[in-house]
Amino acid sequence: MKYLSWRMIPIFVFVVLLLLFWRGLSLDPHHLPSTRVGKMMPEFQLPLLNDHKHSLTPKDFQGHMSLLTVWASWCDACAREQPFLLKLQQKGVLIYGINYKDTPTDAKKWLAEWGNPYQLIAEDVDGHVAIDLGVYGAPETFLVNKKGMILYRHVGILNEQVWQTKFLALMKEG
């Protein structure tokens, strides 16, 4: 019996590897987990798109659950997720936007074409605040809780499936 189990090891290892590789097929090797999840938003102050006299700061996120989306007019995927963001806004979700490495003219033109679901939009022209948030591409959406802590970061287009599987559960926890 002992002799038999010694021979089972390679088969066992093979099956384990098979399962790991199968799992690996659905993983994205380029995907980075966010180091900012579970931490407070970094301190920042960015001018608003429509009103340079006022700014967006972490204080604007206090007291309510909200989303923070990093987007740009040059970003195709951002246009593709816009209908879904508008749907969320109509459902009462608060969404703040950071216009990333863009110009105000292009940004406003883009919003006129694709719609504007944002409570407030801030301009991050040199992308410095995005770096503080650990952003490495657009679009990215952060889920922020009432105290201003980042609960989750989604890279790429936000859609119904991601919303249901990743965001809703966290939103209920408050």
Q: Which residues contact another protein (rule: CB under 8 A)?
A: 29-30, 32-36, 101, 126-128, 131-134, 136-137
Alpha-carbon span 27 to 138, nearest angstrom: 19
Q: Which is nearer to another protein, 34 or 66 (CB)?
A: 34
Q: Quick check: 41 and 144 in contact, CB under 8 A?
A: yes
Report in angstroms the alpha-carbon separations of 112 from 82, 117, 161: 12, 11, 27
**Separation of CA 80 from chain center:** 15
Q: Quick check: 149 and 39 in contact, CB under 8 A?
A: yes
**CB of 127 vs another protein, minimal distance in Å:** 5
C-alpha angle 54-123-103 in degrees, rounded to nearest 5 = 125
Q: Which is nearer to another protein, 127 or 148 (CB)?
A: 127
**CB of 23 vs another protein, minimal distance in Å:** 17
**CB of 133 vs another protein, minimal distance in Å:** 8
Q: Which is nearer to another protein, 15 or 168 (CB)?
A: 15
The structure tokens listed for 37 are 């999840």
Q: Which is nearer to another protein, 7 or 172 (CB)?
A: 7
> Hey, how many other C-beta atoms are within 10 angstroms of the C-beta on 9?
9
**CB of 118 vs another protein, minimal distance in Å:** 23
**CB of 55 vs another protein, minimal distance in Å:** 21
Q: Which is nearer to another protein, 68 or 120 (CB)?
A: 68
